[in-house]
Chain A
Amino acid sequence: EVQLVESGGGLVQPGGSLRLSCVASGFAFDKYWMNWVRQVPGKGLEWVAHIKLGGYEKHYVDSVEGRFSISRDDAKNSLFLQMNSLRAEDTGVYYCARDAAGELDQWGQGTLITVSS
């Protein structure tokens, strides 16, 4: 069974940093592209970042470019999102999601980030 389990969420002050993790199981993690997607509670979905195999190619939504960094550790079946210079508008549930047969075929349960003073 494919499982994606996010962790690392919490309350952080504006301007602060946080590192999210996603541990994958049930599939060959090193053979899949991966993503982070976020959702403000009660609102829609926003794709945040993407990483291809080996971490050699990455993409970001403009609003996080230069502040967030996606990475992966295939030996640990893990995906990461380093978030710096956090803003109130970064508040939301962050989901880890796999790409297969197109995009975002499997999702984790999400981890909540609250940016507030």
Chain B
Amino acid sequence: DAVLTQSPPSLPVTLGQPASISCRSTQSLLYSDGNTYLNWFQQRPGQSPRRLIYQISNRDSGVPDRFSGSGSGTDFTLEISRVEAEDVAVYYCMQGTHWPRTFGQGTKVEIK
């Protein structure tokens, strides 16, 4: 299985400051079709998960442009350029390249 390891597990951030979450895979997530199926999800307290980013860096509709994704192969990053109060949530990376699909363990973003 492709194991995804996120760091840090918890991320206290000052409002208006940037935040960065790392996701590392034990296997390359580059698929034979040339795409890399690495997604990022946000789960606010008491809510269902919401996809923010697909295929490394594509933002879903309605996602603020302060969220961006980058990376390749086995190393990926989610960045929030300026954290807002509504960004308090747990963030998960997930790969869809290999079966079974797997999630990272999550990173909890909180306000300092």
A interface residues (Cβ-Cβ under 8 A, vs B): 35, 37, 44-47, 50, 59-62, 95, 99, 101-105, 107-110
> Do A107 and B102 have beta carbons less than 8 Å apart?
no
> Do B54 and A44 have beta carbons less than 8 Å apart?
no
> Do B101 and A47 have beta carbons less than 8 Å apart?
yes
CA–CA, A60 and B54, complex, Å: 22
* A61-B100, A102-B39 known; A107-B49 Cβ under 8 A: yes
Chain A residues positioned under 8 Å from B43 (CB to CB): 45
> Do B54 and A47 have beta carbons less than 8 Å apart?
no
> Do A104 and B48 have beta carbons less than 8 Å apart?
no
CA–CA, A109 and B112, complex, Å: 29
* A45-B41, A103-B39, A104-B51 known; A62-B94 Cβ under 8 A: no
CA–CA, A46 and B50, complex, Å: 15
Complex interface bits, B52-84 against A, C-beta within 8 A gives 1, otherwise 0: 001100101000000000000000000000000
> Do A44 and B106 have beta carbons less than 8 Å apart?
yes
A67 to chain B: closest CB distance in Å? 15
> Do B49 and A95 have beta carbons less than 8 Å apart?
yes
CA–CA, A95 and B41, complex, Å: 14
The 8 closest A-B pairs by CB, nearest first: A102-B54, A103-B96, A47-B101, A107-B48, A45-B103, A61-B100, A44-B106, A59-B99
Chain B residues positioned under 8 Å from A44 (CB to CB): 92, 103-106
In the complex, which residue of chain B has the Cβ closest to the Cβ of A49?
B100
B50 to chain A: closest CB distance in Å? 7
A selection of 16 A-B contacts at a CB cut-off of 8 Å is A44-B104, A44-B106, A45-B49, A45-B103, A47-B101, A59-B100, A61-B100, A62-B100, A95-B49, A101-B54, A103-B39, A103-B54, A104-B39, A104-B94, A105-B51, A107-B48
CA–CA, A104 and B38, complex, Å: 11
> Do B101 and A102 have beta carbons less than 8 Å apart?
no
Chain A residues positioned under 8 Å from B99 (CB to CB): 59
In the complex, which residue of chain A has the Cβ closest to the Cβ of B48?
A107
Residue of A62, A99, A105, A108 with most chain B CB atoms under a 10 A cut-off: A105
